[in-house]
């Protein structure tokens, strides 16, 4: 293969890589593989026909350049349709949004309670007491639950993990209220789980 042909093949592949970047893998990989195959077949046929490499380079370049307007419009259309499909699949029901909001309020209650405990310990100048540690744990647990609920769609495993960790921490720290903290924790983990499921998880449909 001469330098000109090398360059044109490289340009073709680079252009395909550029206009397919950002597309869902099923569109991106398919188009790249198809052009790769086409370019290979073109070169192979030219070799069999003993076509001068300069002519093959010119033909490939012409095919690349003349197709650019179609490539651009295809990219715009495919990107648009992929976005609309994703927005349909990512559409969240009002009931689920309400449940998440309630869960976040519960988590914020923990954060506020924890901050109050720490502040109280600060005011009394007794940071070494169990109250400050209890407050700090509540703040962290509440923040974990809130963050987990909010990220459970984008990153299901991390989201559910954070909610579960927060709920277990609260149940352990507030052990005298196990009858309340354990059911609430189970409910919060369930909300995160079903929120994640709406995106197609665990099959990964929501991540495409």
Partner 1 sequence: MRRKPGHLLPIELTILEAGIRLRTEGVAHFYGFLIAREIKERQEARLLTAHGTLYKALDRLQRLGMLESEWEDPVVAAQANRPRRRLYWVTAAGEAARVTVGEPAPRPVRQSQRGLAPS
Tokens of 108: 């914020």
* Among positions 64, 140, 189, 192, the unique one binding partner 1 when judged by CB under 8 A: 64
Q: CB of 43: closest distance to partner 1 in angstroms?
A: 10
13 binds partner 1 (CB under 8 A): no
Q: What is the DSSP letter of 177?
A: G
Q: CB of 17: closest distance to partner 1 in angstroms?
A: 13
18 binds partner 1 (CB under 8 A): no
Residues 80-139 interacting with partner 1 (rule: CB under 8 A):
none
Q: Which of 131, 100, 104 is nearest to 115 (CA)?
A: 131
* Among positions 1, 7, 68, 186, the unique one binding partner 1 when judged by CB under 8 A: 68
Q: Which of 83, 1, 93 is nearest to 42 (CA)?
A: 1
C-alpha torsion angle, residues 200, 201, 203, 204 (rounded to 10): 90
Euclidean distance between CA atoms 50 and 63, whole angstroms: 20
Which of the ranges 62-70, 110-118, 134-142, 146-154 carries the binding residues for partner 1, by CB under 8 A?
62-70
Euclidean distance between CA atoms 186 and 192, whole angstroms: 10
33 binds partner 1 (CB under 8 A): yes
Tokens of 43: 């070169």
* Among positions 2, 14, 45, 207, the unique one binding partner 1 when judged by CB under 8 A: 45
The residues of the shown chain that bind partner 1, judged by CB under 8 A, are: 12, 30-31, 33-38, 40-42, 44-45, 59, 62-74, 78
């Amino acid at each position: 293969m001469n330098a000109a042909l090398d360059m044109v093949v490289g340009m073709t592949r680079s252009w395909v890589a550029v206009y397919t970047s950002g597309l869902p893998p099923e569109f991106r990989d398919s188009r790249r593989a198809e052009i790769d195959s086409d370019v290979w077949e073109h070169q192979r046929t030219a070799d069999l026909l003993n076509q001068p490499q300069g002519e093959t380079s010119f033909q490939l370049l012409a095919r690349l350049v003349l197709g650019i307007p179609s490539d651009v419009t295809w990219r715009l259309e495919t990107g648009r349709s992929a976005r609309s499909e994703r927005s349909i699949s990512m559409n969240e029901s009002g009931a689920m949004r309400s449940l998440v909001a309630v869960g976040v309020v519960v988590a914020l209650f923990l954060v506020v309670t924890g901050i109050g405990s720490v502040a109280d310990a600060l005011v009394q100048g007794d940071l070494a007491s169990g109250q400050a540690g209890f407050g700090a744990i509540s703040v962290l647990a509440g923040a974990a639950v809130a963050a987990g609920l909010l990220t459970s769609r984008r990153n299901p495993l991390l989201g559910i993990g954070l909610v579960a960790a927060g709920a277990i921490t609260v149940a352990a720290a507030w052990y005298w209220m196990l009858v309340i903290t354990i059911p609430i924790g189970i409910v919060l983990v369930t909300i995160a789980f079903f929120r994640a499921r709406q995106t197609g998880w665990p099959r990964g449909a929501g991540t495409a």
